[in-house]
Amino acid sequence: MKGEHPLTPALPYDMAPRARAAAGDVRLRQFVERATTTRDRGRADACRAAFGDALDEVRSLAGQLRQHALDHLDTHLERFIEEAERGGITVHVAADGPAAVAICRDIAQRHGCRTCVKSKSMVTEEIGLLDGLMAAGVETVETDLGEFIVQLDGDAPSHIVAPMIHKDRTDVARAFQRELGAPYTEDPEALTRIARQHLRGVYRRADLGVSGANFLVAETGSIVLCTNEGNADFCVSGPPVHVAVAGIEKLIGRLADLSVYLKLLARSATSQPLTVYTTLIQGPRRPGERDGPREVHVILLDNGRSRLLAADTRELLRCIRCGACLNACPVYRQVGGGHAYGAVYSGPIGATITPLFKGIANYPDLPRASSLCGACHAACPVDIDLPHHLIALRRRQVRERVTGPGERLAYRVWAWWLRGARRYRVAGSCMRLLLRAMGRSMGQDAGAGGRRRWIARPLPGLRPWLEHRDFPAPPRRNFREWWRRRR
Ligand code: SF4
């Protein structure tokens, strides 16, 4: 809503007003539609070129590897802590977001840090680390180009991988002119140059670097970072102190498994065979080395993840945050990107994990923000059956009485109707008559031979469905009747 931060809405969150506003913003929908379609097609082509007919087997293998890692998370955690500390990394464990922010703030204060450079990380968005450091007097600058622009605009990322998917170059030009005093230009190269010049100055004075982690390898105690702009490498090697924040689900057992994930992550996120920079951090600067931080810290964050380790939701923790399910999702495209979801994680994966992290009653709309078409499952490189989890959440909503009594009654009546063949036929005929009557009432005939009717004045309950899409009135006869007559 106006004046409200896109990712920290008042709870319980009502998705409809933001989705309606975004769906009515033609420019926004065009950006999102174009970007997601291109990315989705690129992912499909890149995966097909690399794995051909074996793609489903590779996805299944990756899913099983992730599941195995989660099934043995306790041993992987112990092993990672042991190996990381052997390499000189200080490991912290945080039960929730405020605890993680406090650990990071304490490290910054102990070292007298004044400027922090931060690379892109969803988990730091999740815990509000940037605001936490700023409040402690540490100037914190996003260095991923998209995140940097989003920060200049006082906005929030709208996509897991492409944070400024909801903006175009005119927005960037305006932000650079307004916030950096740069001359107005829409030339992408000139805009990149302006950002680079500005960020180089920040890198030079930074005394704290913060990153996320794409994976944590238990066997070697390594932090793995995958980026395309090289900004994360500046963040973790320039300043004297590096803090990495990672959810506990990022742990994998063996270094050998990493190659499977890296191949799938880059192809699913950006259609590349590999990200341009893949960095494995084993510890701080060693004696005799000229570069690198003097201290490296890892904050292992729970923040609700151990709740999801329960057998029926554990699969959701496989997610490697590639964003492919967002690009494939027709709902994400229609509502103009991630802001309509009112949460850090948007799209199908956000619609499942956000209610589980933050309470099902707080996000009643999210499990229903899906057509259950299955495109997200087909796109997911680690084979997460997202539609299954969305349905399970809807079932929980009914059980926990998040849905209102009217809706529950309506679904019960509907289920009763569907269970009897004759009842189903009678109900179908009644519904057809009703919908045809609504189409006729406006006299809107269109299509071949003028026989097509469009519903223009729907029943009150159907109105939101028809605000941004046309809905044809049903034909006079259904398929069964048409078939019987034909014979
Ligand atoms: S759920 Fe699957 S497709 Fe969606 S972001 Fe996670 S790994 Fe990618």
- Reported as a pLDDT band with limits 50, 70 and 90, residue 2 is very low
Q: Ligand 1 mean position to 170 CA, how many Å?
A: 30
Q: Sorting pLDDT into bands at 50, 70 and 90, what band is 451?
A: low
| C-alpha closest to that of 230 among 265, 259, 257, 203 | 203
CA–centroid distance, 83 to ligand 1, in Å, is 29
The finding on whether 316 has its CB within 6 A of some atom of ligand 1 is no
Give the strand pairing for 215-217 and 251-252: parallel
- If one compares 337 and 351, the residue with the highest pLDDT of the two is 351
Pick the residue whose CA is nearest to atom 7 on ligand 1. 319
**What's the pLDDT tens digit per position in 278-295?**
999 999 999 999 889 999
Between CA 480 and CA 437 the distance in angstroms is 21
Query: Could you tell me if the CB of 317 is within 6 A of ligand 1?
Result: no
Probe target for ligand 1 pocket from 270, 321, 332, with the most ligand atoms within 8 Å of CB: 321
What is the pLDDT at residue 440? 63
For residue 144, the model assigns a pLDDT of: 97
Q: In the structure, what pLDDT confidence band is assigned to residue 411 with cuts at 50, 70 and 90?
A: confident
Per residue in 458-485, pLDDT (tens digit) is 777 777 777 767 778 888 888 888 898 8
Return the pLDDT at 442: 52
Q: Are 100 and 245 in contact (CB under 8 A)?
A: yes
> Could you tell me which residue, 436 or 330, shows the higher pLDDT?
330
pLDDT (tens digit per residue) in 157-178: 999 999 999 999 999 999 999 9
**Is the C-beta atom of 161 inside 6 A of ligand 1?**
no
The tokens for 83 are 């190996």
Q: What is the pLDDT of residue 445?
A: 47
Model pLDDT, residue 19: 87
Ligand 1 geometric centre to CA of 96 (Å): 23
Does residue 328 line the site of ligand 1, with CB under 6 A?
Answer: no
3-state secondary structure of 275: coil
Can you give the pLDDT at residue 441? 53
Q: Which of 180-194, 373-387, 406-420 has the lowest mean pLDDT?
A: 406-420
User: Which stretches does DSSP call E strand in 188-270?
Assistant: 208-211, 215-217, 222-227, 241-247, 251-252
Q: What is the DSSP letter of 111?
A: T
Between the CA of 280 and the centroid of ligand 1 the distance, in Å, is: 22
CA of 276 to the centre of ligand 1 (A): 20
The pLDDT value given to residue 471: 79
Ligand 1 pocket member 44 (CB < 6 A): no
Q: Is 375 in the pocket of ligand 1 (CB under 6 A)?
A: no
Is residue 324 in contact with ligand 1, taking CB distance under 6 Å? yes
Q: What is the pLDDT of residue 1?
A: 44
Q: Which residues contact 274 (CB under 8 A, 6 or more apart)?
A: 262, 263, 266
> Whose CA is closest to atom 3 on ligand 1?
380
Write out the two tokens for 46: 């890149």
pLDDT digits (tens, 9 = 90+) for 101-156: 999 999 999 999 999 999 999 999 999 999 999 999 999 999 999 999 999 999 99
Q: Considering only CA atoms, which residue is closest to atom 2 of ligand 1?
A: 380
Closest ligand 1 atom to 160 CA: 5
Three-state secondary-structure class, residue 286: coil
Instruction: Report which protein residue has its CA nearest ligand 1's atom 8.
Output: 322
Q: Kindly give the number of the ligand 1 atom that is closest to the alpha carbon of 376.
A: 3
94 or 336, which is more confident?
94
In the sheet where 139-142 sits, what is the strand order?
90-94, 295-301, 241-247, 208-211, 115-118, 139-142
Chain-centre distance of CA 288, in angstroms?
42
Residue 5 pLDDT class (50, 70, 90 cuts): low
Please give the Cα distance from 273 to 267 (Å, whole number). Answer: 6
**265 in ligand 1 pocket by Cβ < 6 Å?**
no
Reported pTM: 0.90
User: Cα of 484 to ligand 1 centre, how many Å?
Assistant: 45
Q: In terms of C-beta density within 10 A (0-12 exposed, 13-18 middle, 19 or more buried), how is residue 391 classed? A: middle
Task: Tell me the CA distances in angstroms from 414 to 323, 387, 401, 411, one per residue in order.
Answer: 35, 21, 18, 5
To test ligand 1's pocket by mutation, which of 160, 383, 384, 386 has the most ligand atoms within 8 angstroms of CB? 384
Q: Exposure string (b/e) for 39-62, b if CB count within 10 Å is 16 or more? A: bbebbbebbeeebeeebeebbebb
- The tokens of 269 are what? 């996120």
* Model confidence pLDDT, tens digit, residues 364-391: 999 999 999 999 999 999 999 999 999 9
